[in-house]
Amino acid sequence: MRELTVELGERSYPIYIGQGILNDITALFDRAKLSRKSPLLVVTDSEVAPLHLERVMALLRAGGFNATSCVVPAGETSKSLSQLEGIVTSALQAGLDRSSAIVALGGGVVGDLAGFAAASFMRGIRFVQIPTTILAHDSSVGGKVAVNHPMAKNIIGAFHQPELVLFDIDLLLTLPPRQVKAGLSEVIKHGLIWDAAFTQWCDDNTEKLLSLDPEALGYALYIGCKVKSIVVSQDERENDLRAILNLGHTIGHALEAVAGYGELLHGEAISIGMVGAAKLAQQFGYSEEIHEVTKGLFLKYGLPVSIPPHLDTDSIMSAMMHDKKFKEGTMVYIIPMEIGKVEIRKDVTVEQVRQIVELLKGRG
């Protein structure tokens, strides 16, 4: 078992990563001083429930925890106020009190939704993450929790740090291959922004990661969480440094919005975005090699590196302007300076980004 601490003063918490560690759930909950008297609510989704819920509930009950569960439909649309209300209904029916905890068993959707429920139920109760996707290594660090509004993603939320994160590799073995790749996209991102050696390691261990080799996957999740936690520790409230986590996300978010959530998974959209940022780097005088390495890596992982041609450039640009707000024709953009190092630039123009979008459509 690997262990790391997300350092946030009073709100610091541990992340445990390893194969089979779900068996230690009781001991880990005890270490976090979770209450056996007050009911626990486990929130999961309709795809994860048939695969893993029963086992989690059995372990908790065997350990003497008073656990109830609540299942939301799988998919991004569950990040809504109406699902939040449903979780609160379950919490009230189960008799949760101020010493209770909500446990998120699932991917980023369940983590964000259940996390916001924990942040707001009785003005904040304790929260535990048991991530079941690779992508959730990202959402399990940093305490951002939220639901969507029909007009905007993640717009209603809170910062609410978990008590602990329990990442059992065994839970990930049921992931469909497309979700595996998409999750690895964020893992690779953490290398690209912070750790050149890990980027090289990702290049050397592609096969292992794609086949969910437990040792390799455990290491990759550990480094991914570690990089994010270093960044978040230095900037909990997203004032400056945390922006570097958005490498590839400017174009990525716009692509997700235009394609309609679903056609492109988040990890797929940002792999295209990271290739775009690497291309943009050349215009600021950085080495061409950055683009080659980035693109090569995502290709190796079977992730998309160009924009599906049917997506309209104007629509992509306008989604981006909506998302980010250009100030006097320029925007904040994360640009790689070399592998493992990025900068936050404020002088990227709309015109430059449009050119990159065109390039990514194979027309540049």
Determine if 82 is a binding residue for a second copy (CB under 8 A). yes
CA–CA gap between residue 269 and residue 257 (Å, rounded): 10
| Residue 121 sits in the site that holds a second copy (CB under 8 A) | yes
Give the residue with the Cβ less far from a second copy, 325 or 346: 325
Q: Using CB distances below 5 to 8 A depending on partner kind, what does residue 14 bind out of a second copy, ligand NAD, none? A: none
Question: How many whole angstroms separate alpha carbon 227 and alpha carbon 55?
Answer: 31
Q: How far apart are CA 256 and CA 273, in angstroms?
A: 11
Q: Is 132 part of any known ligand binding site? A: yes
- Give the residue, chosen from 27, 58, 62, 155, that forms a contact with a second copy under the rule CB under 8 A: 155
- Return the closest-CA partner of residue 90 out of 55, 131, 121: 121
- With CB under 5 to 8 Å by kind, the binding choice for 266 among ligand NAD, a second copy, none is ligand NAD
Residue 108 is labelled as binding a ligand: yes
Nearer to a second copy, 149 or 363 (CB): 149
Q: Report whether 111 belongs to an annotated binding site.
A: yes
Residue 116 or 301 with smaller CB distance to a second copy: 116
CA distance 41 to 273: 37
Cα 42 from Cα 91, distance rounded (Å): 10
Contact yes or no for 219/362 (Cβ under 8 A): no
Q: Which are the contacts of 256, defined by CB distance < 8 A and separation ≥ 6?
A: 264, 266, 269
Tell me: does residue 30 bind a second copy (CB under 8 A): no
Closest CA to 216 of 206, 226, 225: 206
Query: What is the DSSP secondary structure assignment for residue 52, as one 8-state letter?
Result: I
Which among 48, 53, 14, 9 has a CA at the least distance from the CA of 33? 14
Tell me which residues are annotated as active site.
Answer: 123, 144, 186, 228, 238, 242, 246, 249, 253, 266
Smallest distance from ligand NAD to CB 115, Å? 7
111 binds a second copy (CB under 8 A): no
Q: Which stretch binds a second copy (CB under 8 A): 14-22, 55-63, 157-165, 282-290?
A: 157-165
Residue 264 CB contacts under 8 Å (≥ 6 apart), including other chains: 255, 256, 272, 304, 308
| Residue 26 assigned to a binding site | no
224 annotated ligand-binding residue? no
Residue 332 engages a second copy in binding (rule: CB under 8 A): no
Q: Which residues are annotated as a binding site for NAD(+)?
A: 108-112, 132-133, 144, 153
Q: Which residues are annotated as a binding site for Zn(2+)?
A: 186, 249, 266
Q: Which residues are annotated as a binding site?
A: 108-112, 132-133, 144, 153, 186, 249, 266
